[in-house]
A and B are shown apart, each in its own frame.
Chain A
Amino acid sequence: MFEFTTKAKQLAIGLTVVGAILWIIGFALNGSSSHEADHGHDAHATEMHADAGHDAHAEEAHDAHGEDAHAAHGDAHAEEAHAAHGDAHGADAHDAHAEHVHHQQQNRPWSALYVAAIFFLGLGLGQLFFLGIQYIAQAGWSAGLLRLMEAQAFTIIIPLLVILVITLLGLGHVHHMFHWMVEGINVPGHENYDEIIAGKRGFLSPGFFIARVVIYIVGWVWAARMLRKNSLLSDSGDGVAMWNKNRKVGAIFTVFYAVTSSTSAWDLIMSIDTHWFSTLFGWYTFAGMFVSSFAAIILVTLYLKSKGLLEWVNDNHIHDLGKFMFAFSVFWTYLWFSQFVLIWYANIPEEVTYYMQRWDQYKVPFFTMLSLNFIFPVLAILSRPAKRVPGTLVMAAVFVLVGHYMDHYIMIMPGTVGDQYGFGLLELGPILFFAGLFIYVMFRNLAAAPLLHKNHPMITESKHFQQ
């Protein structure tokens, strides 16, 4: 039985509070330091307007440019159109750009919070899905690890609530992270009118959007609670009956998640770059979440092992978790590359702007992220013995966690803050905030029940698992 000590509790709460304070300080400083943007301004006004990546958030530019610019925007988002409009509106562009940069800076606290929320959502969601898979696959090896997955699945609740609040604030125009939420974007003749986004109004309308977000929250949290409830009931009752119930819950959830993993990725992340679209974006996001959730559960498992708990979890279980992490980091790379190479190869302006912006403005995080998510894990845990040694596994798990935070950063930041990005209090704060809450929720749930199922029908198989 795991005990959530007062010291650990204080650490978790301390992290949360410190993170929140750092974010608030960063928020306050962020507002007062906006004059910094004026410095590099002159250089920006000419350079950046020719940049194709700029149109991701062109709504501020619209204010100053007037109707003729809209024609160029509406037709095609070719680089040429932007270059032309940069020249023609040299003087106006200066002011428009200043406002644009200002908006991007205002977005930064929210984006930073959002990146961390999505990242920590992935840690819980990946293991919730994996937990459902264990039941429908009738997996025996993992029976001794189910309590960890259950506890980790519960950590989705807080990031989900933060995501809900941020999207609601976006609809209330508190920030401008989501371009399609701008007022009048679907009203012909309105100064913010965008023909392409108006064409997506059926899907990206405020009511439907919030309804979907609520459906995700309800569906996912329902699954996490049901799987946990039946698992706890099995300790005092009929293990096989509860296991069968969880098989049904797992099956329903897996079908639900098959759809919602994709649509949630479109809604929560892809809609930030509203003009851009990618058909495998959902799987790509899912793969990133799944692999980072394995990194997290490996760290928790090894932590509990180091405390002398989980004596039924042997090297083979840990090896298998390592295999999953290794396999899905390669799977993530496969999907990342599949998305990248087709867009790079076809070189269609409306698609390739997405990567051009990342290439121009995010080159260092872009390559760091790729190394951390693919090359480092492959070299660290490719060999069999490396997956059975805690040291190398922890190292690879840390690579994966840092790498996937950066991956989410690179998915979200370019569309919301453009080149006004950085890593400071605003980014560090939310990470500590969610990390503290992650530890708190996970450990509280681990302490609430025995770490081993009593009547799970495959518990003996799990104890004798070897490969």
Chain B
Amino acid sequence: MGHTKHNPIVRALFNDDDVVLSAVKDLRANGFHVSEVYSPFPIHGLDEAMGLKRTRLSTAAFFYGLTGLFFASWLTYYTMIMDWPQNIGGKPNSMWFLNMPSFVPVMFELTVFFAAHLMCWSYFAVNGLYPGAKAQNPDPRTTDDHFLMEVELEGDEAELNKKLQELGALEISKIEA
């Protein structure tokens, strides 16, 4: 995924995460475009090696949390102060602020709830993950103990194949775009 240009794709299969990582670094240093890597687990430093942009999910999470905070403030105000004033430990309940400390747990929990859940749903939405979605990994072995790298073929195919073999690829195949 992610390749808008109509270049053919070369797929290379590896069986070691360190080998994949150094292969990605090597290929990118030599001007090849590594468009995707499939791995059974997150590889430390791979996102930087591939030159991926930093996710904006954390920024979104901040605003999701803020939404939760405001929602909790409104919820406690409406239910405890305005609609049905509650006597909380005999404290003055004419103003939300005067009872605010007792609402802090609710505000905290809803901040976390909103940030976590909306972040999770955002992640699913952005990645097209929904019940019944078709698996995107080209080779089922990448869910077990193999690593698959997709490189865009822009120049000489034989040269790229040779390079991949030098870097430790076990299988190499070409997919027309």
Contact = CB atoms under 8 A, between A and B. Distances in A.
Chain B binds chain A: yes
Given A346-B89, A347-B89, A347-B90, A341 B104 contact: yes
Contacts of B89: 345-347
A341 B102 contact: yes
A251 B101 CA distance: 38
B131 interface: no
B58 interface: yes
Interface in A375-393: 382-384
Contacts of A344: 101
A346 B88 CA distance: 10
A466 B101 contact: no
B62 A383 contact: yes
Interface string A36-59: 000000000000000000000000
B155 interface: no
B104 A337 contact: yes
Contact of A466 (B45, B62, B104): B45
A130 B58 CA distance: 29
A277 interface: no
A340 B62 contact: no
Closest 3 CB pairs of A and B: A341-B101, A345-B89, A344-B101
Interface string A341-371: 1001111000000000000000000000000
Nearest to A344: B101
Interface in B80-110: 88-91, 101-102, 104
A382 B59 CA distance: 10
18 contacts: A337-B101, A337-B104, A340-B101, A341-B101, A341-B102, A341-B104, A344-B101, A345-B89, A345-B102, A346-B89, A347-B90, A347-B91, A382-B62, A383-B58, A383-B59, A383-B62, A384-B58, A466-B44
A337 B102 CA distance: 11
A344 B88 CA distance: 11
Interface residues of A, number: 11
Interface string B6-19: 00000000000000
Interface of B: 44-45, 58-59, 62, 88-91, 101-102, 104
Contacts of B102: 341, 345
A466 B88 CA distance: 50
Contacts of B90: 347
Interface of A: 337, 340-341, 344-347, 382-384, 466
Contacts of B91: 347
Contacts of A337: 101, 104
Nearest to A340: B101
Contacts of B88: 345
Contacts of A466: 44-45
Contacts of A341: 101-102, 104
Nearest to A342: B101
Contacts of A347: 89-91
Nearest to A337: B104
Nearest to B91: A347
B50 to A, nearest CB: 16
Nearest to A383: B58
Contacts of B59: 383
A344 B103 CA distance: 13
A58 to B, nearest CB: 27
A160 to B, nearest CB: 36
Contacts of A384: 58
A382 B66 CA distance: 13
A341 B91 CA distance: 13
A161 B44 CA distance: 48
Given A344-B101, A347-B89, 10 more contacts: A337-B101, A340-B101, A341-B101, A341-B102, A341-B104, A345-B101, A345-B102, A347-B90, A347-B91, A383-B58
A239 B88 CA distance: 60
Nearest to A384: B58
A195 to B, nearest CB: 28
Contacts of B104: 337, 341
Contacts of A383: 58-59, 62
A345 B90 CA distance: 9
A203 B96 CA distance: 42
A337 B101 CA distance: 9
A466 B48 CA distance: 12
A384 B61 CA distance: 13
Nearest to B89: A345
B104 to A, nearest CB: 6
A333 B45 CA distance: 34
Contacts of A346: 89
A465 to B, nearest CB: 12
A346 B89 CA distance: 7
Nearest to B45: A466
A70 B84 CA distance: 45
A349 to B, nearest CB: 13
Contacts of A345: 88-89, 101-102
A138 B156 CA distance: 50
Nearest to A334: B108
Nearest to B65: A382
A115 B62 CA distance: 36
A466 B44 CA distance: 9
Nearest to A346: B89
B56 to A, nearest CB: 11
Nearest to A347: B89
A337 B44 CA distance: 37
A309 B102 CA distance: 49
A15 to B, nearest CB: 40
Contacts of B58: 383-384
A463 to B, nearest CB: 16
A141 to B, nearest CB: 14
